Structure 1
Amino acid sequence: MPQVSDAPAAGAPSGSGRRRHLTLAVLLSASFMGILDVLIVNVAAPSIQRDLGADFADMQLVISGYVLAYAATLATGGRLGDSYGQKPLLLAGLLAFTALSAGCAAAPSVGVLIGLRIGQGLAASLMLPQVLSLIQVIVPVGERGRALALYAATLGLGAVAGQLVGGALIRADLFALGWRAVFLVNVPVGLLAVACVPALVPATRPVRRRFDLPGLLLTSAAMALLVYPLIQGSDDGWPVWVWPAFAGSALSLAALWQVERRRESAGRVTLMPPALFRDRGLRIGLGAALAFYAGNYGLFLLLAYVFQEGLRLSPFASGGAFLPLGVGFAVASLSGRRMVSRYGPVVLPVGAGVMAAGYLLLVLTLLPGPARSGPVEALAMAPSLLVGGVGQGLVSAPLLGAILATVRPGQAGAGSGIVLTVNQLASSLGVAVVGAVFVVLLGADPQDSSAGRTPGDFISALSGCSWLLLALALATGVLLRLLVRTTRVPDGGHPGEGGSEREDERGGRDG
């Protein structure tokens, strides 16, 4: 099984704290681009849809095409990093991601844009799994909790920047580029990171293994046959073809499990090692991540359309309306590790409770009442979004480390790939499912002017979806409570310390 060495590789910056920090900054810049490229498109989605003559399902595919390709090949990216070294895979992913970002900015049609976004997702799957693996290589065990907290905070910063920068770029309309500028913003960041990687990022010791092509094909088929019908089926009124597609997804998953078990029993490399899933703590943690991220990404998509199409806010004002949610997330992410160190892993389910309270407050805020203008309605939602964002941040920072703590260090590459795969699958499902519910409740495409939808109709649809978000937050809390009870989550919330209760029973054998 491909492994990531815990010992610093040749050229690792272990001897210089300053150089190690610079290396970490380069790695986090890659993660920043990855999350930015999801959320900056959310705020730009209404403008893209209008300019390219697309429909809401097309825009769901613009977002989900990226995360679906990313999710389907993340584990492969992690394995390739184990086999050929994290540094060359990181560099190749950065170069491809930067070039494809420029291509998205020049896309002449929504079909081309969807194709380029899928390419971006594939590039991200080469780039981003290497970040977590390299953090575990270059950062000493005692400092990994802080590094992972910075990683989670970077995701929060990307969420904030995605909304504000996207809105500001569309408003500024630099060189008459409009929404196309939101893709070009990746280019200078990517080029700077590419220039720094050769000098700062250490080479790791690769372990060459054969490629798991059946695992990749079955994983891709299972995800595509699940997410695409959810998006297109909702737009087409749930035609007959979606049900065989869902059945095909289930069959692909069953076949994947059987194929991976046989390959593992034969001692061959596996994309998603079944042995990793034998630990109950890992299964619970992945379930919590699925519910958590599905709700988060679904909410971002809804708010972009409610603010811009329902409340008639400009893209810039819409980005500002996101600010309470993003600031709450970023601040709580930065303080999450310290709170876990002080109060223990109970912070995880408490954070889910805070998130649920924010969604409940949002439901109460959206109750029918006197008509309010768009800016006033957005301002009224700010407290609930702030509370929800704080809850999201309290969960996000320690959740990643808590899940990776159930994975043995020698399986860091595979474990990181699986965790990030679930993260991106959840985001794709969130966009598909929550978006489908929103369209059903609204009764029309959000930009269908002939439907005569009023701001009140958008608020009512958002209110209905908020109950779904509340249910996902409560499910996250229940699963996190189980995770805390069944595993010894380390106080720092990071791998390398602690692990599952059964780890000692295994006597250190590689399960």
Structure 2
Amino acid sequence: MTGAESGTGGTGHLPRRGALAVLLAATFMGILDVLIVNVAAPSIQRDLRAGFSDIQLVISGYVLAYAVGLTTGGRLGGAYGHKRVFVAGLLAFAVMSTACAAAPGVDVLIALRIGQGLAAALMLPQVLALIETVFPPEERPRALARYGATLGLGAIAGQLLGGLLIDLDVLGLGWRSVFLVNVPVGLAAAACAAVLLPPSRPGPRHRPDLAGLLLTAIAMTLLIYPLVRGGAGGWPPWIWPSFAGSVLALAALWRVEQRCARSGGAPLVRPALLRERGFGLGLAVVVAFYSGNYGLFLLLAYVFQDGMHLSPLGSGTAFLPLGVGFATASMAGRRLVARYGRNVLVAGAAVMAAGYLVLIVTLLPGPVPTAPLAALAMAPALLLAGAGGGLVAAPLVGSILATVPAEEAGAGSAVLLTVNQVAISLGVAVFGTLFVALLGTDPQDAAASVSVTDFTDALIGCSWFLMVLAVVTGLLIRCLPRRAR
């Protein structure tokens, strides 16, 4: 076995900065495509003559496919080599991005976004494994810090870059440019990865848990799809059997995973892990936190563009206080936790709840006469909510994993990342549906027929629920056990 194959020993001659740049470029693309489509959503809806529920599926389809494929993507990297699967994921992501940009209709776009999410599930799980391979132990903390900063930067840049690309309207591409921007980055990153990353030796190949993968996909689809389509269709009778089917699929998944674990296989979710009280509470924290945060992104895009009639770039700029607060607090969060412990996360949830309360108070009298000033008036509340979210997000995974035995940390991390993405998809479905119900019509129809006050009133209604979720997040964090049993 060569040094490169065995880990960090043979990577000293490699340009590590270039290798890290490739890995961070892939990370940036992945997080960008969760958020950049939010600011493009009103433009996509107008151009493709789609309904709001279609746009919810464009966003949640990507996230849900990524969630379902995440664990399997990581295992494929271990079985066939992280570098090989990473490059394949980059190329697939570039191809699917090109296809998304060329989508002739919204149904095709939804299907292609699911494919793009699966490509992300091949690409992104390899990043941390490759950082472990490229960097010796003494250099890994700095590389991981840059990885974390990239996640924060993607959260800020997604809205702003999306708005800029749509406003520039290069070659008349409009919203399609938010997908095409991935293509040169993905192809260049794949070419550089082939040269700069060390070869990774394939590991043992376990039989994939196809039954678990299929049941997870069925359960999540039967839950998310009726949540999105039900409101638009007046909650028809078929949605209730769909919800029941989701519960049955989850029950079947539990049985299948238990059987797989007993037979010595590699289940998607280790049943023993879910029996850990602290870990179960941790998953509830993740759902409460991420469903609210990412649900807000979609609502704000429509309030800013269809309600206040800001341009896509103006909308992206109005998001900046939220992103800056999140990124700044994220960078400080880890250091504060080292000093003050889990109380920092509880304080972050309280700050987040306060931010939503300030947003409600700001909007209750009705917006100021001009839209730019209305968006500016919301900035302090968004900055506060973003800062609170950043204090929770940065140390959250570490705090939850501290409640499980060390030997379960790897499996626990994969489950947390999966539930994180499911929560994002759930938030888009639930808060999007609630927003339309409070608005009384599709946001695109409302843009021409109702006032900006109707949009802000709908946002106020959603903000009450967001504030409750923030409080629940803090209470659940307080209930987490301090250490693994």
Between the aligned partners of 1:31 and 1:407, the Cα distance in structure 2 is 27
One-letter identity of the residue aligned with 1:487: R
Are 1:269 and 2:266 matched, yes or no? yes
Aligned residues: percent identity? 63
Between the aligned partners of 1:13 and 1:385, the Cα distance in structure 2 is 46
Name the structure 2 match of 1:487.
482
**TM-score, length basis structure 1:** 0.89
Alignment RMSD: 2.2
| Secondary structure at 1:268 match in 2 | coil
- Work out which of the residue numbers 398, 408, 418 in structure 2 matches 1:421: 418
Residues 356 and 466 of structure 2 are in contact (CA less than 8 Å); yes or no, is this contact kept in structure 1? yes
For residues 278-297 of structure 1, the C-alpha deviation after alignment (integer angstroms, 9 at most, x for no partner) is 32232222221111111111
- Work out which of the residue numbers 338, 347, 359 in structure 2 matches 1:341: 338
In structure 2, do the counterparts of structure 1 residues 468 and 111 end up closer, same or farther at CA, with 3 Å as the change threshold?
A: same
In structure 2, do the counterparts of structure 1 residues 416 and 246 end up closer, same or farther at CA, with 3 Å as the change threshold?
A: same
One-letter identity of the residue aligned with 1:208: R
In structure 2, do the counterparts of structure 1 residues 369 and 69 end up closer, same or farther at CA, with 3 Å as the change threshold?
A: closer
Residues 145 and 337 of structure 1 are in contact (CA less than 8 Å); yes or no, is this contact kept in structure 2? no
Name the structure 1 match of 2:295.
298
In structure 2, do the counterparts of structure 1 residues 132 and 234 end up closer, same or farther at CA, with 3 Å as the change threshold?
A: farther
Are 1:62 and 2:58 matched, yes or no? yes
For residues 374-415 of structure 1, the C-alpha deviation after alignment (integer angstroms, 9 at most, x for no partner) is 111100000000111111111111113333445666656533
Residues 330 and 394 of structure 2 are in contact (CA less than 8 Å); yes or no, is this contact kept in structure 1? yes
Between the aligned partners of 1:74 and 1:114, the Cα distance in structure 2 is 19
Name the structure 2 match of 1:190.
186
Name the structure 1 match of 2:123.
127
Further displaced range: 147-156 or 405-414:
405-414
- Work out which of the residue numbers 163, 168, 171 in structure 2 matches 1:175: 171
Instruction: Report how far residue 345 of structure 1 moved.
Output: 3.2
In structure 2, do the counterparts of structure 1 residues 409 and 134 end up closer, same or farther at CA, with 3 Å as the change threshold?
A: farther
One-letter identity of the residue aligned with 1:453: V
In structure 2, do the counterparts of structure 1 residues 77 and 447 end up closer, same or farther at CA, with 3 Å as the change threshold?
A: same
Between the aligned partners of 2:118 and 2:381, the Cα distance in structure 1 is 35
In structure 2, do the counterparts of structure 1 residues 131 and 400 end up closer, same or farther at CA, with 3 Å as the change threshold?
A: farther
In structure 2, do the counterparts of structure 1 residues 236 and 14 end up closer, same or farther at CA, with 3 Å as the change threshold?
A: farther
Residues 8 and 132 of structure 2 are in contact (CA less than 8 Å); yes or no, is this contact kept in structure 1? no
Are 1:218 and 2:215 matched, yes or no? yes
Instruction: Report how far residue 300 of structure 1 moved.
Output: 0.3
Residues 129 and 416 of structure 1 are in contact (CA less than 8 Å); yes or no, is this contact kept in structure 2? no
Between the aligned partners of 2:409 and 2:24, the Cα distance in structure 1 is 18
- Work out which of the residue numbers 374, 382, 386 in structure 2 matches 1:385: 382
Residues matched between the structures, number: 482
Name the structure 1 match of 2:392.
395
Between the aligned partners of 2:136 and 2:404, the Cα distance in structure 1 is 17
Residues 282 and 403 of structure 1 are in contact (CA less than 8 Å); yes or no, is this contact kept in structure 2? yes
| Secondary structure at 1:210 match in 2 | coil
For residues 455-478 of structure 1, the C-alpha deviation after alignment (integer angstroms, 9 at most, x for no partner) is 000000000000111111111111
Between the aligned partners of 1:146 and 1:412, the Cα distance in structure 2 is 21
Residues 74 and 126 of structure 1 are in contact (CA less than 8 Å); yes or no, is this contact kept in structure 2? yes
Residues 7 and 133 of structure 2 are in contact (CA less than 8 Å); yes or no, is this contact kept in structure 1? no
In structure 2, do the counterparts of structure 1 residues 108 and 430 end up closer, same or farther at CA, with 3 Å as the change threshold?
A: same
| Secondary structure at 1:82 match in 2 | helix
| Secondary structure at 1:447 match in 2 | helix
Between the aligned partners of 2:471 and 2:33, the Cα distance in structure 1 is 28
One-letter identity of the residue aligned with 1:271: L
In structure 2, do the counterparts of structure 1 residues 152 and 478 end up closer, same or farther at CA, with 3 Å as the change threshold?
A: farther
In structure 2, do the counterparts of structure 1 residues 370 and 410 end up closer, same or farther at CA, with 3 Å as the change threshold?
A: closer
Between the aligned partners of 1:328 and 1:289, the Cα distance in structure 2 is 20
One-letter identity of the residue aligned with 2:146: L
In structure 2, do the counterparts of structure 1 residues 140 and 348 end up closer, same or farther at CA, with 3 Å as the change threshold?
A: farther
| Secondary structure at 2:129 match in 1 | helix
One-letter identity of the residue aligned with 1:105: A
In structure 2, do the counterparts of structure 1 residues 143 and 258 end up closer, same or farther at CA, with 3 Å as the change threshold?
A: farther
For residues 113-168 of structure 1, the C-alpha deviation after alignment (integer angstroms, 9 at most, x for no partner) is 11110100111111112223334555566665555443333222111111111111
Residues 13 and 19 of structure 1 are in contact (CA less than 8 Å); yes or no, is this contact kept in structure 2? no
One-letter identity of the residue aligned with 2:182: N
One-letter identity of the residue aligned with 2:172: A
| Secondary structure at 1:313 match in 2 | coil
Q: Which has the higher contact order (CA 8 A, sep 6+)?
A: 1
Alignment of 1:74-473 (within 5 A): 74-138=70-134, 147-202=143-198, 203-369=200-366, 371-406=368-403, 414-449=411-446, 452-473=449-470
Further displaced range: 195-204 or 288-297:
195-204
Residues 91 and 190 of structure 2 are in contact (CA less than 8 Å); yes or no, is this contact kept in structure 1? yes
Between the aligned partners of 1:301 and 1:323, the Cα distance in structure 2 is 14
**TM-score, length basis structure 2:** 0.94
Between the aligned partners of 2:217 and 2:115, the Cα distance in structure 1 is 14
Residues 367 and 374 of structure 2 are in contact (CA less than 8 Å); yes or no, is this contact kept in structure 1? no
Instruction: Report how far residue 313 of structure 1 moved.
Output: 0.5
Residues 290 and 426 of structure 1 are in contact (CA less than 8 Å); yes or no, is this contact kept in structure 2? yes
| Secondary structure at 2:6 match in 1 | coil
In structure 2, do the counterparts of structure 1 residues 397 and 168 end up closer, same or farther at CA, with 3 Å as the change threshold?
A: same
